[in-house]
Amino acid sequence: MAYRLAIFDFDGTLADSYPWFTSVLDHMAVRHNFRSIDAEERESLRGASARVIMKSVGVSTWKLARIAKDFRAMKKQASSGIPLFPGIPEMLQELHAKGVVLALVSSDTEASVRIGLGPELAGLFVHFDCGASLFGKARKFRRVLRKLSMTKAQTICIGDEDRDARAADKAGIDFGAVTWGYSTPESLIAHNPKRTFATVRDIAAIAG
């Protein structure tokens, strides 16, 4: 089926930010007193849910807002140096040309996202709803649908994490899993996504 609205995640879906994330993780662990993990354990945790990861490194729910604020501030400073995945500009331009409405929901700030996309690509999106809490995307998905007068059946969320899949399910919209982001393909497939994208180019097929 063709979709009229695509709601994209940003980090790990459009932007290749995982290397930056791992580069600042030890600093954040010291600053916020959670357990630092080595590269091998980081890889193993990519298949886990957000709640399991939090428990594993010792991050309690009450710390999340402060940690997220710090991450967002650091990310904004680094945004101009974090690349988009190859093929992202062409894919977004093709969807826009075919009449698919583009929106973006992210835990990052809108300012960081706009820097990362650049003005030309950012201009293709009709709506940004950023600053989502770790488990707050479902509410934002529903708000985007109301704002743009779209139905659930017309909409797909495209993301790279377990929490994207869970939020899409909670909001009652289809989920499209990309296989190149923060979570492992296997962990996302366990959520039975409506679409699975092995390459960036594959996403263009949602336009029908």
Query: How far from each other are the two terminal CA atoms of the chain, in whole angstroms?
Result: 6
Asked if the model's pLDDT at residue 41 lies above 90, the reply is no
Q: Tell me, what's the pLDDT at 1?
A: 72
- Write out pLDDT tens, residues 77-107: 999 999 999 999 999 999 999 999 999 999 9
Q: Tell me, what's the pLDDT at 103?
A: 98
Q: Tell me, what's the pLDDT at 68?
A: 81
Mean pLDDT of the residues in the chain:
91
Strand, helix or coil at 199? coil
Q: Tell me, what's the pLDDT at 72?
A: 87
Percent of the chain with pLDDT over 90: 65
What is the secondary structure of 46-111 as a DSSP string?
A: TTS-HHHHHHHHT--GGGHHHHHHHHHHHHHHHGGGSPBPTTHHHHHHHHHHTT-EEEEEESS-HH
27 band by pLDDT with thresholds 50, 70 and 90: confident
- Write out pLDDT tens, residues 63-82: 777 888 888 888 889 999 99
